[in-house]
Amino acid sequence: MARTDSRFAAYLPHPAERYAPVTAVVAEATGHDVPKLASLQARTRGGSASEWADRIHRALCAERSLVITAKVSGEAVGYANAAFLPEHAEDGAPAGYYLTGVTVDPDWRRRGIAELLTRWRMDRVWERDSAVWCFISARNLASLDLHRKLGFVQVTVGASFQGIEFAGGEGLLLRADSPRP
């Protein structure tokens, strides 16, 4: 039986039912996308859509930040971001570009959308830097499997990275280096 944590997608490495991959269009988000992305975040992660809209808008306006969306038939079904974060001396997280979140509408999970969003962000980061970073709760097994599949390797373990504390007190700092010379 899969261990579950309500903050993360259910971990089903070999689901009994597999869905066919979908064709999603991934692009940088615009101000017009904010209300739909905020609604998606509120439905999936909790909180209010207005709070999420403020956060997404700030990310859209931030220098060295990337906000993207995946759409199927014009409807937003996924959202992800990346940002350059400075060194965080308190927990040893180095400066660099970090994948800072991915959300897929529960009705659209297990169709390759999170992988598509993650690959897209990695490619954009590698246009700017030779490494891309992420930190993940050790309890988020689905996300760990996805990132390892995409070439991320564990750098270290900690109770927090970039000031973010982890459910269960343990997170992993991961890094993927560009395949380009």
The string of pLDDT tens digits covering residues 54-71 is: 999 999 999 999 999 999
Using the predicted structure, report yes or no on whether residue 9 has a pLDDT greater than 70: no
Residue 134 main-chain phi, psi, to 5 deg: -155, 160
- Residue 75, both tokens: 């409807």
Band (2; pLDDT cuts 50, 70, 90): very low
The pLDDT value given to residue 39:
95
The pLDDT value given to residue 167:
74
- Residue 106, both tokens: 């529960």
The pLDDT value given to residue 6:
46
Each residue of 116-160: pLDDT tens digit?
A: 999 999 999 999 999 999 999 999 888 999 999 999 999 999 999
- CA–CA distance, 138 with 93 (Å, rounded to integer): 16
Q: What is the DSSP string of 41-75?
A: HHHHH-S-HHHHHHHHHHHHHSTTEEEEEEEETTE
Consecutive H or E run containing 144: helix 141-149
The pLDDT value given to residue 144:
93
Architecture of domain 25-177: 3-Layer(aba) Sandwich (3.40)
pTM of the model: 0.86
